[in-house]
């Protein structure tokens, strides 16, 4: 089994050109889509899971989960994540919902690069979310959307969720990282060359820009807009080397009086499926709680 579903480079950059298009992933009830991005000035891809009820109940609208993958690219995780959600829907653990798998490329950290060459945040928020609402039968409201991610995707979910509380009724931060202001966490320390590549490529070598984009800073700025309006959770495995910083982020949210849950899942490392399975029914309760009465 792959230890972390998020570490493949299928969407890594080729040369100096961002890889806005990925290959199509073949998985049950998952379809590959593209659209012309005015911001990127290129065709951009994403995958979309739809539940069986989407086909059989043509007059029904559905809530949407935006799943943000981790560093290296997310293609390897699409099929197992779609299968996990599909089974939960069939077993009645969560309501039927759409799951959007955006292409976050290898190391965007789900934010706009300082030089503007990879406007990832803008594409997701200003283009992809409106496109999903325009082309699919969605519940286009705060309580009809969750943003969730693992590792780099957890960092992205925290960023986008706190920045746009008018869009997302739920923010799910799973083993998020990098959750420190000096970009000196365990992964950065273990791989300084990768840290430098991301710092230069995404943040223009500017540590102050990195700090301004951090979920730590954004939570401070957005706390009044988020309090008591958005359901937030932070979860990480006890054997995950990001656990200390995820716990520290939870403490940061507490100091900001942002209600949330923090769960340390025993005996789980940096592994997406193991973390979600370790949360057991508390995992499904989160989705049910956000979407309660809205489906």
pLDDT in tens, 19-51: 999 999 999 999 999 999 999 999 999 999 999
CA–CA separation, 184 vs 248, rounded Å?
14
Strand partners, 259: none
Percentage of the chain modeled with pLDDT above 70? 93
pLDDT in tens, 90-113: 999 999 999 999 999 999 999 999
pLDDT in tens, 165-223: 999 999 999 999 999 999 999 889 998 999 999 999 999 999 999 999 999 999 999 99
Domain extent listing, the chain: 30-291
User: Minimal CA–CA distance to 65: which of 40, 37, 89?
Assistant: 89
Predicted pLDDT at 3: 36
Reported pTM: 0.93
Query: How far are the Cα atoms of 43, 126, 170 from residue 275, in angstroms, in the given order?
Result: 33, 31, 18
Tell me the CATH number for domain 30-291. Answer: 3.40.50.1820
pLDDT above 60 (res 10) = no
pLDDT in tens, 70-96: 998 899 999 999 999 999 999 999 999
Predicted pLDDT at 292: 86
Contacts of 281 (CB under 8 A, 6+ apart): 93
pLDDT in tens, 121-161: 999 999 999 999 999 999 999 999 999 999 999 999 999 99
CA–CA separation, 226 vs 216, rounded Å?
14
- For the CA atoms of 65, 71, 76, 82, what is the dihedral angle to 10 degrees? -10
């Amino acid at each position: 089994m792959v230890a972390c579903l998020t570490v493949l480079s299928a969407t890594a950059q080729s040369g100096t050109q961002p890889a806005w298009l990925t290959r199509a992933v073949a998985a049950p009830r998952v379809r590959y889509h593209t659209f012309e991005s005015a911001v990127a000035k290129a065709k951009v891809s994403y995958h979309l899971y739809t539940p069986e009820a989407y086909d059989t109940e043509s007059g029904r609208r559905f809530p949407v989960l935006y799943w943000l993958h981790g560093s290296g690219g997310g293609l390897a995780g699409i099929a197992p994540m779609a299968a996990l959600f599909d089974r939960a829907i069939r077993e009645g653990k969560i309501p039927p919902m759409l799951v959007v798998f955006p292409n976050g490329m290898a190391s965007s950290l789900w934010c706009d690069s300082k030089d503007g060459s990879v406007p990832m945040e803008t594409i997701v928020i200003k283009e992809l979310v409106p496109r999903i609402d325009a082309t699919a039968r969605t519940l286009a409201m705060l309580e009809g959307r969750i943003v969730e991610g693992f590792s780099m995707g957890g960092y992205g979910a925290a960023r986008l969720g706190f920045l746009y509380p008018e869009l997302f009724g739920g923010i799910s931060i799973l083993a998020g990282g990098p959750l420190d202001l000096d970009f000196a966490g365990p992964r950065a320390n273990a791989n300084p060359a990768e840290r430098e590549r991301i710092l230069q490529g995404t943040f223009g070598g500017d540590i102050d820009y990195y700090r301004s984009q951090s979920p730590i800073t954004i939570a401070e700025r957005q706390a009044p807009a988020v309090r008591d309006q958005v359901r937030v959770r932070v979860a990480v495995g006890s054997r995950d080397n990001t656990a200390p910083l995820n716990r520290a982020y939870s403490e940061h949210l507490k100091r900001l009086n942002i209600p949330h849950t923090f769960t340390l899942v025993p005996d789980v490392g940096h592994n997406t499926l193991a973390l979600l399975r370790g949360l057991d029914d508390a995992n499904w309760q989160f989705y049910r709680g956000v979407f309660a009465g809205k489906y």
